[in-house]
Structure 1
Amino acid sequence: MNLEQKIIDYAKQQAPHEMCGFVVFDGGKMRFIACDNIASEPEHYFEIATDDWLKVQAYDGVIALVHSHPDGEPALSAADQQMQLQSGLDWWLVCDSKLHKFRHIQPLLGRTFVNQAADCLSLCRDAYMLSGQDFPQFDYTFDWYEKGEQSYIDGLAKYGFERLADSQDLQLGDIVMMQVGSSVANHAGLYLGDQLLLHHSPNQLSRRVIYGGYYLQVTHSIWRYKQCSQLNFTAILNNLSLTINR
C-alpha cells in the first residue's frame, strides 16, 4: 500500500473525528507518522500534542502536516491557513477519500515583489493552489514582454483557461490580463468579486484595488479556468481574511 492510501485509510478509521499526523523523511523514504488528536472537540478541529511535535524533529525532515475534514470542505479553512503560516510546513488534507496538498506560501496580501518568485503571476498561481488546483510554474524569461512574447496568455491557454467574450460577467477566480506600458498583455490580476481585484505590481506590496478606472482601461482580456466549478475559491477569501486580522 502506498503512502497516500495509508493516510486516506487512517483518516477513514478516525472519522467522524479529524485525524492528524506528519509526513517525514525516514532513512531516505517518506513515512506517515500518525498522532493523537487531543482537541476537546475532535470532530470539529484537531490539536497535536507538544510531545508529538518534538518527536518528529528527530527524523531526517518533516515534509508536511496532515489532517482531515470528515464532513468539511476540501480546502484549508481560515484557521487552518493561520496555523499553516505558523508551522512553516506544507499541509496535506484528506477529504472525500482524496488527498489534497497545499504548499506553504506567503499570505496573498502584503507580499514584497520579486520577479518570477513573488510577482503577479505567482500571486494568481498561489491563489488557485489554495482553491484546489496547483499549476506548474509558467515558462517565461525575465524580459519576455519586452520581446513581444505572449508568455502569460500562452500559459493560461496551456493550463486550461479560456478567454471570455466581452459580454460575459466576471466571477470570483477569473484572471484579468492587463497591458501596462507594453505591446502585449503583461500583468495579471485575480478577480475577487464585488468589483475587487487582487494584483501585485513591481515596487509595491500585493493588494486589493477597485476594479475600475485605470484597471479597466488597461484590461486586455479576461480568462476563466474551464473546470472552475470544481474549485473552492472560498479558500482565497479565507486567506485574505486571516491576513487582515493577524
Structure 2
Amino acid sequence: MMTYAFSTATRERLTKAILSHARACHPQECCGLVILTRDGHQYLPCINASPEPRRHFSLTPEDYLKASAAGTIIALVHSHPDGPPELSPADRHGLTHSACSWWLVCGGRIYCFGTEDEHDHDHCLS
C-alpha cells in the first residue's frame, strides 16, 4: 500500500482542498495535481477539459506545464462523483504510463493508487 509522510497540518490542508474542489465540480469529475514545491506540498486544481466531464477527465497542457514549472508532480487527482472507489480501465492505463501516483476522490474519501499497486488502494488522506 502507498504511504505518505505528511504532517497532520499538510494532510488536513490537502484533504480540505481536494474534497472542496471535488464538491465544487460535482456532478462532473474534478482533476488536479499535488505538487511538491519549496513551500511544501500544494494542491493545484485543474480544468477538466474532457468532452464528457461527467464520465472522464482530461488535464489541459497549460495546467500540466504550470504544475511542472512550480514543482515536482507527485500525484494526479481526479474524482468519480457517483462511481466506486476503483480506477477505471482507462485510469489504470494512464497510471501505468505516468510517473506519479493517482489519487481518486469518491464518497468523500481520497484513495491512493501507485504503479506498484494499481489494484490495491489505501485511504491515503481521509
Q: TM-score, normalised by structure 1?
A: 0.43
| 2:3 counterpart residue number | none
| 1:19 counterpart residue number | 30
| Structure 1, unpaired ranges of 5+ | 106-125, 135-246
Find the aligned partners of 2:71 and 2:21 in 1 and give their Cα distance: 23
User: Who wins on radius of gyration, i.e. which is larger?
Assistant: 1
In the comparison of the two structures, how many residue pairs are matched?
112
What whole-Å deviation, never above 9, does each CA across 1:101-139 have from its counterpart, x for those lacking one? Answer: 11222xxxxxxxxxxxxxxxxxxxx3xx624358xxxxx
- Where 1:101 maps in the other structure, the secondary structure is strand
- How many angstroms does 1:31 deviate by? 0.3
Find the aligned partners of 1:44 and 1:133 in 2 and give their Cα distance: 23
8 Å Cα contact 2:113/2:120 also seen in 1: no
| 1:81 counterpart residue number | 92
What whole-Å deviation, never above 9, does each CA across 1:203-228 have from its counterpart, x for those lacking one? Answer: xxxxxxxxxxxxxxxxxxxxxxxxxx
Find the aligned partners of 1:5 and 1:104 in 2 and give their Cα distance: 25
Find the aligned partners of 1:53 and 1:77 in 2 and give their Cα distance: 21
| Structure 2, unpaired ranges of 5+ | 1-11
**2:121 is aligned with 1:132:** yes
**2:32 is aligned with 1:43:** no
Find the aligned partners of 2:18 and 2:120 in 1 and give their Cα distance: 21
Which amino acid is 1:132 matched to? H
Which amino acid is 2:17 matched to? K
Find the aligned partners of 1:85 and 1:101 in 2 and give their Cα distance: 14
Across the aligned residues of Structure 1 and Structure 2, the Cα RMSD in angstroms comes to 1.7
- Where 1:94 maps in the other structure, the secondary structure is strand
Higher relative CO (CA 8 A, sep ≥ 6), structure 1 or 2? 2
| 2:108 counterpart residue number | 97
Find the aligned partners of 1:133 and 1:100 in 2 and give their Cα distance: 5
Where in structure 1 do 4 or more consecutive aligned residues deviate above 4 Å?
none
Which amino acid is 2:85 matched to? P
**2:25 is aligned with 1:7:** no
| 2:78 counterpart residue number | 67
- How many angstroms does 1:71 deviate by? 0.6
Find the aligned partners of 2:16 and 2:103 in 1 and give their Cα distance: 13
Find the aligned partners of 2:65 and 2:83 in 1 and give their Cα distance: 29
- Where 2:115 maps in the other structure, the secondary structure is coil
Q: TM-score, normalised by structure 2?
A: 0.82
Percent of residue pairs identical? 36
Which amino acid is 2:35 matched to? V
| 2:9 counterpart residue number | none
Which amino acid is 2:110 matched to? L
What whole-Å deviation, never above 9, does each CA across 1:157-199 have from its counterpart, x for those lacking one? Answer: xxxxxxxxxxxxxxxxxxxxxxxxxxxxxxxxxxxxxxxxxxx
